[in-house]
Chain A
């Protein structure tokens, strides 16, 4: 573009350049990510110092944070993506419950194995994603309502398939899900003096791979960037030549797919299914995304932030449990108070930055 160089004007640049000095070069996304990571590190470090005797000094405790939250990490990734696109999906808890029950029924009664049940889980997740994506993107129905219907549908279908609680009775699957990665040289000595080696579930590896994959997708592919554009301002995105409808559709599809994977990890971890399975999972995932610096208004968010969001909210839960209480109401209230602290702090820092 030679012509661009022809038009030079340096005088004006200087005038406005001092304006630029005031402006932070960090984008909103990067800024919120930094907050989340530092918050997580801070609270975990504090728990080690003050609650070390409640298990926080153990390495396994840290690994458990991952073991218990692998599914949530994957699901929250999906939610972050739809939230970045300016949409929402509250059906993930329902679809997780459906996946668990459907897979168990098939594993136990229809001779499914690990692989075919995985395919089933993906198919269910994808179906949710595709249908919801279609309704949201192409029929322009409010995502909250569409996915609320999805949530109802998922939970309701569980009851139609199997009202009872069920458990996986499939040797192959049980063997695989019981397998653990033993981490060499790491472990804790318990108070009876026994050395217990640290273990990591295979689901965690899947979750980490997915986090990296999604990070790459959001950062390095044009689809990922259009998620941000559409979330930032759909009207502008359209004018910039982005196929807004298709982008929204893909976001929901991806979220559905990740809910499928997450649901399967959930099953892989708990090996059980019921109507009540994963109640409130959607809210946990949304909370984690938000703590991770994804804005519900769209356009801002980062997958690593989401990962740390899950870890941070998981740590909060650990802390609440570790402190314990005779009165049943304190844990939830403490948890909410910490959530409140996170959210207010984030908004405070954001407004200070502006």
Chain B
């Protein structure tokens, strides 16, 4: 019924020590939205990068719209062949303006007409409802806007194949809805879309077909209607999915735990602009911060950790008043913080997995007390097996791990410090469903062992499952606190939309 626009046959790709792709086939038809699914490190991004010429494949054939074995050596050539791509990590130039990011590298024109370019950009931005000015420098936009700009760029191109590698990871629901509307529109015009995401609902909302990869190998291609969720997850993981309900039950039991206060803030505010907030975390409890994108969730926890300069307010740990000015002080007081932007604030790219794991503990131990290699290796081995980190060895640089595995390494780093209070800011972003569940289980297990945890996620269900109390935020204010039976999706939405600020409540 439909013409195929893209076929990939027998693709092989290996990196030093890793076989990223083995004999993978992939077919995309005109006017179809095709989900590419798999766990972290399954090879999705690699397959895409092979297709767009970022990596050169070791073997295999690519055929685009009848052109057999097109010569794709660089993203530029891929663009010329009508493949436009939004990569997993935002790949725009922060020093250029929004308009330029939309158009650069796309035309063969030797000259730039700024006026035309800016007015075209204005038009596109408005059309997509992206709150940015064409002449604004990209680095002054928020991550979400940057992601939208990347999408706008890809969509604006007259393409036959559109590839979206986790475009929704930092978008909120409305933006996702906008994106989906756009995708449907393009689909109706016959564009073939490859869509990578870890949100199963999104897959079932827009996609027609699913191709599943596991460990660099093809599991199969399925029509969406033939593959119920549970089965999809099973295919991705190669085993049956653990019961989610089980997690929730545990949560409920958690709330009855002893109420020893671990962290208590009073009117804390920081240079990032967060408004003074009060917050208490108890031993063995999982708290969450909920709110829209940019509502200041990260800023709250960063202030507690001392990552931003605290301007006002007090912080008590176990009742003792402490003055935390730097992260190291927080760490010494038993606080751990897994930061939100993994690539920028989390991993240390060229260092090995081992060094990344021991880093925080090492820093706490002090400058003059390095671990011996054997000690470090023992720590690394322990956590690699505990969290099931997929890596060639502990000596592999962390940058060559897949996103999800990098996240696990960072998690290992903080678990190793055995904190009393652990902050996890979006630990599940860009992570496959299996790992997500594992992490959530881990969080609950740690909490049951007495650790106090703050868990921030953009997925409300996830928070509902794991947290026993939610702090709701809007526009840098804490606007409410929900627990027990109040913790429903509706209630949260309502609070975000209309709740009063903490300060107002007090008066």
What residues of A have a CB within 8 angstroms of the CB of B126 in the complex?
A: 5
Contact between A236 and B92 (Cβ–Cβ < 8 Å)? Answer: yes
Q: Which of A4, A224, A235 has the most CB of B within 10 A?
A: A4
Is the CB–CB distance between B75 and A238 below 8 Å? yes
Partner of B112, one of A3, A7, A225, A237: A225
- Residues of chain B lying within 8 A (CB to CB) of residue A232: 93-96
Q: Mark B120-134, 1 if CB is under 8 A from A, else 0.
A: 000110111101110
Instruction: Decide: A3 near B185, CB < 8 A? Known: A13-B131, A243-B76.
Output: yes
Residue interface bits A187-209, CB-to-B below 8 A is 1, else 0: 00000000000000000000000
Of B85, B96, B100, most A-chain CB atoms within 10 Å: B96
- A6 to B127: give the CA distance in the assembly, Å: 7
State whether A222 touches B128 (Cβ < 8 A).
no
Contact with B along A1-37 (1 / 0, CB 8 A): 1011111111111011101100111011100000000
Residue A109 lies at the interface, judged by CB distance under 8 Å to chain B = no
B127 touches A221 (CB 8 A): no
Which interface residue of A27, A219, A228, A238 has the most chain B CB atoms within 10 A? Answer: A27
* Interface status of B54 (Cβ within 8 A of chain A): yes
Tell me, yes or no, whether B312 is within 8 Å of chain A by CB: no
Contact of A9 among B97, B101, B145, B178 (CB under 8 A): B178
**B359 vs chain A, min Cβ distance (A):** 24
Give every chain A residue within 8 A of B90 (Cβ-Cβ).
236
**Is B142 a contact of A4 with CB atoms below 8 Å?**
no
The winner among A219, A229, A240, A242 for most chain B CB atoms within 10 A is A240
- Indicate which residue in A7, A12, A224 contacts B181 across the interface (CB closer than 8 Å): A7
Contact at B135–A228, with CB atoms within 8 Å?
no
> In the assembled complex, how far is the CB of residue B175 from the closest CB belonging to chain A, in whole angstroms?
7
Q: How far is the CB of A14 from chain B (nearest CB, A)?
A: 9
How would residues 297 to 313 of chain A score, 1 for a CB under 8 Å from any chain B CB and 0 otherwise?
00110000000000000
Verify if A183 is at the interface (C-beta below 8 Å from B): no
Residue of A nearest to B137 (CB): A27
A243 vs B53: C-alpha distance when bound (angstroms): 12
B123: A residues at CB distance < 8 A: 1, 4
A240:B181 contact, CB within 8 angstroms = no
Taking a contact as CB atoms under 8 Å apart, the answer to whether B174 and A12 are in contact is yes
Quick one: closest A residue to B97, CB to CB?
A: A27
Whole-angstrom CA separation of A221 from B114 in the bound complex? 10
A226 interface hit (Cβ, 8 Å): yes
Q: Are B137 and A239 in contact, CB atoms less than 8 angstroms apart?
A: no
Q: Which residues of B contact A240 (CB under 8 A)?
A: 75, 91-93, 101, 104-105, 153
Provide the main secondary structure of the chain A interface: helix
- Is B405 part of the binding interface, using a Cβ–Cβ cutoff of 8 Å? no
Decide yes or no whether A231 CB sits under 8 A from chain B: yes
Pick from A7, A23, A24 the residue with the most CB of B within 10 Å. A7
Cα A7 to Cα B136 in complex, Å, equals: 22
Q: Are A237 and B93 in contact (CB under 8 A)?
A: yes
> Across the interface, do B95 and A1 meet the contact criterion of CB distance under 8 Å?
no
Instruction: Say whether A19 contacts B182, CB under 8 Å.
Output: no
- In the bound complex, do residue A229 and residue B133 qualify as a contact, i.e. CB atoms below 8 Å apart? no
Contacts of B79 in A (CB 8 A): 241
Closest to A245 in B: B74
Return chain A residues, CB-CB under 8 Å to B74.
Answer: 238, 241, 243
A236, B90: Cα distance in complex, Å: 8
A233 close to chain B: CB less than 8 A: yes
Question: Contacts A1-B156, A9-B178, A225-B104 known; A19 to B129 CB distance under 8 Å?
Answer: no
A28 touches B294 (CB 8 A): no
* Residues of B close to A237: CB separation below 8 A: 93, 105
Question: What residues of chain A lie closer than 8 Å to B105, measured between beta carbons?
Answer: 226, 229, 237, 240-242
Q: Chain A, 125-155, contact with B by CB distance < 8 Å: what is the 0/1 string?
A: 0000000000000000000000000000000
Residues from chain B with Cβ under 8 Å of A27 in the complex: 95, 97, 135, 137
A251 CB to nearest B CB, Å: 15
B385 at the interface (CB under 8 A from A): no
| Shortest Cβ gap from A91 to chain B (Å) | 26
Q: Does A1 lie within 8 Å of B93, measured CB to CB?
A: no
A7 with B133, Cβ < 8 A, contacts A12-B174, A24-B140, A300-B95 known? no
User: With A and B bound together, what is the CA distance between A7 and B180 in angstroms?
Assistant: 10
**Chain A residues positioned under 8 Å from B132 (CB to CB):** 20
Q: Are B294 and A7 in contact (CB under 8 A)?
A: no
Nearest-neighbor residue (CB-CB) of B76 within chain A: A241
- Given known contacts A1-B124, A241-B106, A243-B76, is B129 in contact with A10 (CB within 8 Å)? yes
A299-B127 contact, Cβ under 8 Å, with A229-B104, A243-B74 = no
Q: Shortest 5 CB-CB distances between A and B: which pairs? A: A4-B127, A241-B105, A232-B95, A299-B95, A239-B91
Q: What are 14 A-B residue pairs whose CB atoms fall within 8 Å in the complex?
A: A4-B156, A7-B129, A13-B131, A16-B145, A17-B131, A29-B95, A219-B114, A222-B104, A222-B107, A222-B110, A233-B94, A236-B93, A240-B75, A299-B93
